[in-house]
């Protein structure tokens, strides 16, 4: 079996896909998940291999762990909230921060400077990026994905992952990627070591809760805590299967 085939099966067989019986054939996976979903998984892998780690002082492993956890939470939340257009969520979750890889690969010194600024000043990554690079990872990612002719929903979900309230057309998908990003940080899977700690309070801000509720995500402190506990359980149980997909 080709290594990428076994990677795909690893993902498909993870608890996040909710298959009762594990499958060992790609054909079977295709039947169960549909072509679109499998295509998204393949696309995700091709992106990962496009960005090779040329440098040794950047924590790529941490970056991909954050991205993988985010993709799995997105998948889970898509099912949990029965969100429309669920099939793009895994992909968007996985590549939501690829703008950072662009910076790392093509503006390496500036990228390292932003990472240092995030840690020393305890500010948001986008803030440091605007300061040093004059643009943000989500803006660069949206441009790149446009160029690569990615589906419009994916581009929008990536572009708005820090501010889904600005997305007028694809709100629920953008909200899920936003929630997944925040939740992966709350679960300890941050993109940068020693970055500002993210707590549940980030989601309990009245403005955020109000926006979420208006868009059909009925969440309060109690239900958020419950959801985070379930997600933590899933991550713990699936750690070996999922976090090693890029090995």
Neighbours of 234 (CB within 10 A): 20
Residue closer to Fe ion (CB basis): 167 or 181? 181
What tokens does 139 get? 């803006």
Q: Give the nearer residue to Fe ion in terms of CB position, either 12 or 174.
A: 174
Rounded Cα distance, 174 and 168, in Å:
10
Closer residue to Fe ion in complex, CB, 38/76: 76
Q: Is the dihedral of CA 8, 10, 11, 15 positive or negative?
A: positive
Q: Which is nearer to Fe ion, 37 or 97 (CB)?
A: 97
Q: Taking every pair of C-alpha atoms in the chain, what is the biggest distance, in angstroms? A: 51
Residue of 198, 172, 169, 168 whose CA lies nearest to 186:
198
Smallest separation, CB 181 to Fe ion (Å): 4
Q: Which is nearer to Fe ion, 153 or 181 (CB)?
A: 181
For 18, 65, 230, 245, the CA distances from 21, given in Å and listed in that order, are 9, 26, 21, 20
Residues in contact with Fe ion by CB under 5 A are 97, 181
* 23 or 232: CB nearest Fe ion: 232
Residue 80 Cβ vs Fe ion, minimum distance, rounded to whole Å:
20
Helices (H), the chain: 3-12, 26-33, 35-50, 60-80, 89-95, 98-106, 108-121, 125-132, 137-147, 152-159, 171-186, 201-204, 206-214, 221-242
Shortest Cβ distance from residue 222 to Fe ion (Å)?
A: 26
> Cβ 67 to Fe ion, closest distance in Å?
7
Provide the minimum distance between the beta carbon of 162 and Fe ion in the complex, in angstroms, as a whole number. 6
In angstroms, the CA 113 to CA 120 distance is 10
Q: Name the minimum Å distance from CB 180 to Fe ion.
A: 8
Query: In whole angstroms, what is the distance from residue 60 CA to residue 129 CA?
Result: 18
Between CA 97 and CA 116 the distance in angstroms is: 18
**Nearer Cβ to Fe ion, position 113 or 195?**
195
At closest approach, how far in Å is the CB of 97 from Fe ion? 4
Angle between helices 26-33 and 3-12 (to 10 degrees): 40
């Amino acid at each position: 079996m080709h290594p990428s085939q076994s990677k795909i099966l690893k993902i498909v067989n993870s608890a996040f896909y909710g298959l009762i019986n594990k499958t060992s054939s790609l054909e079977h996976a295709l039947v169960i998940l549909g072509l679109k979903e499998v295509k998204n998984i393949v696309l995700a892998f091709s992106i990962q291999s496009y960005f090779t780690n040329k440098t040794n002082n950047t924590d790529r492993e941490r970056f991909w762990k954050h991205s993988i956890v985010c993709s799995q939470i997105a998948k889970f939340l898509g099912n949990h909230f029965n969100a429309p257009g669920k099939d793009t969520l895994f992909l968007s979750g996985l590549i939501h921060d690829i703008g950072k890889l662009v910076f790392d690969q093509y503006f390496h010194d500036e990228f390292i400077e932003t990472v240092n600024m995030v840690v020393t000043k305890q500010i948001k990554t986008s803030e440091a990026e605007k300061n040093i690079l004059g643009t943000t990872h989500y803006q660069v990612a949206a441009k790149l994905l446009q160029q690569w002719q990615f589906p419009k929903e994916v581009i929008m979900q990536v572009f708005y992952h820090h501010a889904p309230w600005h997305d007028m057309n694809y709100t629920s998908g953008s909200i899920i990627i936003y929630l997944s990003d925040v939740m992966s940080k709350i679960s300890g899977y941050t993109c940068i070591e020693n970055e500002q700690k993210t707590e549940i309070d980030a989601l309990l801000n009245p403005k955020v809760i109000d926006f979420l509720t208006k868009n059909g995500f009925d969440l309060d402190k109690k239900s958020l805590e419950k959801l985070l506990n379930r997600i933590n359980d899933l991550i713990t149980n699936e750690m070996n299967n999922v976090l090693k997909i890029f090995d």
